[in-house]
Amino acid sequence: MEIPFLSLKSTNQQFEDLYKLALSAFLSSGQYMLGKKLESFEQNFANYCQSKYCVGVANGLDALILILDSFKFKRKAEVIVPANTYFASILAIKKAGLVPVLVEPNLGDYLINIKNIESAITQNTVAVLAVNLYGRMCDFDNISKLCNAYSLKLVVDAAQSHGAVYENIKNCNGADATAYSFYPTKNLGALSDAGAVVTDNELLASSIRKNRNYGSEIKYQFDSLGLNSRLSELQASFLDLKLNYLDAEILKRRQIAERYLTEIKNEKLIMPPSDRIHEDAWHLFVVRTDNRIELMNYLKTAQIGYDIHYPIPPHKQKALPEFNNLDLPITEEIHRTVLSLPMNSSLSVEEVDFIIFTLNSY
Ligand SMILES: Cc1ncc(COP(=O)(O)O)c(C=O)c1O
């Protein structure tokens, strides 16, 4: 049995008929950008997040840049961010003309460590960018308290956590703004790049709405230096129809996570935290192992797909030479040992059985 890490063809197969209907409605509408489909998705996704506003943008990176730009921080102000995140979280801070301050995560759940946030705060700190890595929400109760105490903005990178629950809400509503990505591999994925900003702040939402469209509200009148970062009508209509199935997608992921967590028993593997099986969105199911190359070879022979999220930490990337000499042992240990197992709703029971059996025989 050959099991790919993720087959977008399989995950999208169930929607093919609906996509065709949406494409045909899109063609006959003649409205390709900034129309009713986008408005409908924005309203529905805001409702899903139990938040007031959603502004669709071109991708998750732009969502972060637009949020950070909208605060109009002074240049070179500092934003605290976890050192183990996808490169885009840090890139967004740099692109907004700000300075990323990288802090170590917890080794237990791979998320930003609150004590390390506090010790990284300086007179120049203006915001915390918390990342819900792998589909698990950060400790927002304590992070929001800290941000309030130091008058810092709280921005959330939720590119990997659509549908994760925190205190009964599917979004972090204590944050100033949350950035989502709908890249095709995400729990809610478009058929192209796409993203959104979710916020309860009306002014912030309208500023981002303007800035995703060159800084223009009235045709050919430019009030600020925005981006061209619009979410297309076609992708918005695909996302709108898929949103109806997001909870089912996540339920299936939780069921698979529960099986992996209870049935995989192998001392060579460190499993992800199991305390919030029914709240985490399980975008990725990440195990750790000391000898990753051996595990990779073993899975290859068994024809089970895997991926590494991520092999090189941001501070060791060529694009960030100013951080190359930082000493971040927890982040480096995570990057050295992680491996992601197949995790998506198109996995069959037999495939999950086979993955569990194979890992127990490792
Ligand atoms: C944590 C995180 N932040 C930001 C992004 C950027 O999203 P996009 O690829 O839509 O720009 C991603 C995308 O993979 C991500 O995983």
Q: What three-state secondary structure class fits 128?
A: strand
Angle between helices 246-263 and 349-360 (to 10 degrees): 30
Alpha-carbon dihedral 46, 51, 52, 55, rounded to 10 degrees: -40
> In this structure, are residues 281 and 134 in contact, taking their beta carbons and an 8 Å threshold?
no
CA distance 299 to 268: 14
Q: Is the CB of 160 under 6 A from ligand 1?
A: yes
Is 186 assigned a catalytic role? yes
Catalytic residue among 186, 252, 268, 318: 186
Q: State mean pLDDT over 1-23.
A: 97
> In this structure, are residues 60 and 195 in contact, taking their beta carbons and an 8 Å threshold?
yes
- Span from the CA of 219 to the centroid of ligand 1 (angstroms): 30
Q: State mean pLDDT over 195-201.
A: 98
Q: Is the CB of 86 under 6 A from ligand 1?
A: yes
The neighbour count for residue 319, using CB atoms within 10 Å, is 10
Decide if pLDDT at 173 tops 90.
no
Q: Is the CB of 82 under 6 A from ligand 1?
A: no
Residue 181 Cα: closest atom of ligand 1: 10
Q: State mean pLDDT over 124-136.
A: 98
Reported as a pLDDT band with limits 50, 70 and 90, residue 37 is very high
The answer for residues whose C-beta is within 8 angstroms of residue 144's C-beta and 6 or more apart is 154, 174, 175
Decide if pLDDT at 310 tops 90.
yes
% residues pLDDT > 70 (the chain): 100
DSSP per-residue codes, 3-51: B-S--HHHHHHTTHHHHHHHHHHHHHH---BSSHHHHHHHHHHHHHTT-
Check residue 172 and give its pLDDT.
Answer: 83
Q: Is the CB of 84 under 6 A from ligand 1?
A: no
Q: Is the CB of 158 under 6 A from ligand 1?
A: no
Q: State mean pLDDT over 213-239.
A: 97
Residue 194 Cα: closest atom of ligand 1: 10
Check residue 228 and give its pLDDT.
Answer: 98
Q: Which of 112, 183, 232 should be mutated for ligand 1, with most atoms under 8 A from CB? A: 183
CA distance 288 to 62: 31
Token pair in block for residue 174: 């204590």
Burial tier of 256 (Cβ tally within 10 Å: 0-12, 13-18, 19+): buried
Residue 92 Cα: closest atom of ligand 1: 4
Q: In degrees, to the nearest 5, what angle opens at C-alpha 177 toward C-alphas 195 and 192?
A: 5
Q: What is the pLDDT of residues 268-298, one digit of tens each?
A: 999 999 999 999 999 999 999 999 999 999 9
Check residue 318 and give its pLDDT.
Answer: 98
| CA quadruple 264, 267, 269, 274: dihedral sign | positive
Q: State mean pLDDT over 176-188.
A: 98
Alpha-carbon dihedral 65, 68, 72, 75, rounded to 10 degrees: -80
| pLDDT mean across residues, the chain | 97
Bin 303: left if φ > 0, else alpha if -120 < ψ < 50, else beta: left
Helices H / strands E in the chain, number of each: 13, 9
- Span from the CA of 133 to the centroid of ligand 1 (angstroms): 10
The answer for residues whose C-beta is within 8 angstroms of residue 349's C-beta and 6 or more apart is none
Burial tier of 143 (Cβ tally within 10 Å: 0-12, 13-18, 19+): buried
Decide if pLDDT at 75 tops 90.
no
Reported as a pLDDT band with limits 50, 70 and 90, residue 45 is very high
- Of 238, 245, 193, nearest to 19 by C-alpha is 238
Token pair in block for residue 334: 């995570």
